[in-house]
Amino acid sequence: MATGLMPQSPVPLPACSPTDAAQAAPRAEVAVSARVPVLDGLRGIAILLVMVFHFWSYGVVLGGTLWDRVYSRAAGVGWTGVDLFFVLSGFLITGILYDSRNDAHYYRVFYGRRTVRIFPLYYAFLALFCGIVPMALGLLHHPELAPIHDSTTAKVLASTYTLNWYEGLKGFNIVSASLRHFWSLCIEEQFYLAWPFLVLTLTRRRLMALCGVLMVVAFILRIVSYRLQLPDAAYTWTICRMDSLAVGAIVALAARNSDDWRLIAKWATRLTLPALLLVAPLLILQDLKTQFIPEQFALSSLQYSLLGIFFGGCLVMAMCAGEEGLTHRFLSSAFLRFFGRYSYCLYICHLPLIIVGAKIGLHSDRLAAVLGNKLLAIIAVNGIAFLIAIAVALASWNLFEKHWLKLKDLPFLQRTQPRTSNQ
């Protein structure tokens, strides 16, 4: 979720229309302080997908009506937004690291700036929902409304960004719903810790080759995890989810070479739609995941690889979209960019908010009785949940996050001028 999941958008590439994408080549230099509108738009799509998925999972009581089935099918694929976040993280972080390889304070600047962006909100959330809120509700004699009832083990692992390994081994139900979505933040943080060493050590070509190897290894390890009856591990373990991060990294590295960019732009136009057409039936068959036949181990693993390729292709085509084109205008819309800008806090807080809301009656079953219509109740659940989450995100940004981000202006966290390279 490039978040702490979401780093700043660092790569202003020249626009090109989809018809001449194969001939387009970006500049190698990177202005790390700039924001690219289409990347904020993609981030906005990712967080909207995830939020709708969780609001459906915890705020909607399903029935057998047509609207229930339609909504369930649409919202049920929202979990794929996490893979879009992974692709964006791989792209953005790899670009930042590669263009600062000649920086005398390469590690200090990268880790310092990541710490300022990620840690304050993350640990403030853990302190609030693991300590302050349960304590306050206990004093008010309403402990049943507490959004978290986790073991010390889960809290320690969450605070060290290793909760994803615990969830993969023991299953998602081992932690409370308010923390379950933190598995992706753990993967991102582990990626941030390890990737700078590899980017600094390997040449661009070898790094691209490594990304290809990681994609194959992740695919194989997911199959192994399924065979070992560890389906949650295939979903949450870092070594099993590196392919989407690797796809984003390949796009970033290709963007530093004109010939490679022409090639990847050409293949993006050829692979994106086929990847979508192949992954769609696999997503529809998600309900069969507990009834695997041997061939389904590979099919279930394949869907994650296809999602990485699909979102990687979308990223390339978004970067190539002409400013006057429909794609650029859509992704640069104020609506999507708004959600992209506040996606980090929205990702962290939206799930516990809907869980608490459901406990006090903010779910479709209760609202249907009030409104007299199930469809209106589903719309109301999503609308109210979105408004509350947006209000929290705006308050968090203006009262908390942006003040921490001022630390990026400190002299020892400043990057030197990025180099130009066509290596």
Condensed to tens digits (0 to 9), the pLDDT of residues 336-390 reads 999 999 999 999 999 989 988 888 888 888 888 888 888 888 889 999 999 999 9
* CA dihedral for 275, 320, 184, 96, sign (positive or negative): positive
The answer to the question of residue 418 being in a domain is no
The answer to the question of residue 252 being in a domain is yes
The answer to the question of residue 215 being in a domain is yes
| pLDDT tens-place string over residues 108-148 | 999 999 999 999 999 999 988 877 777 776 666 666 656 56
Place of tokens 């993350």: 122
Residue 155 buriedness (CB in 10 A; 0-12 / 13-18 / 19+): middle
% of the chain with per-residue pLDDT over 90: 61
Give the C-alpha separation, 53 to 211, whole Å: 29
The answer to the question of residue 323 being in a domain is yes
Give the C-alpha separation, 322 to 303, whole Å: 30
Nearest alpha-carbon partner for 36 in 106, 95, 101, 120? 95
The answer to the question of residue 7 being in a domain is no
Using an 8 Å Cβ cutoff, are 386 and 380 in contact? no
What pLDDT does residue 19 have?
45
Structure tokens at 108: 């200090």
| pLDDT tens-place string over residues 137-176 | 666 666 665 656 667 888 899 999 999 999 999 999 888 8
The answer to the question of residue 322 being in a domain is yes
Domain coverage including residue 137: 18-27+34-413
Give the C-alpha separation, 340 to 2, whole Å: 10
What pLDDT does residue 15 have?
42
Nearest alpha-carbon partner for 336 in 50, 15, 42? 42
Q: How many domains does the chain have?
A: 1
**Whether the predicted pLDDT of 73 surpasses 90:** no
The answer to the question of residue 253 being in a domain is yes
What pLDDT does residue 241 have?
96
The answer to the question of residue 302 being in a domain is yes
What pLDDT does residue 24 have?
46
Give the C-alpha separation, 317 to 270, whole Å: 11
Give the C-alpha separation, 350 to 50, whole Å: 9
End-to-end CA distance of the chain: 29
Indicate the residue type of 78: G
Place of tokens 């506040």: 342
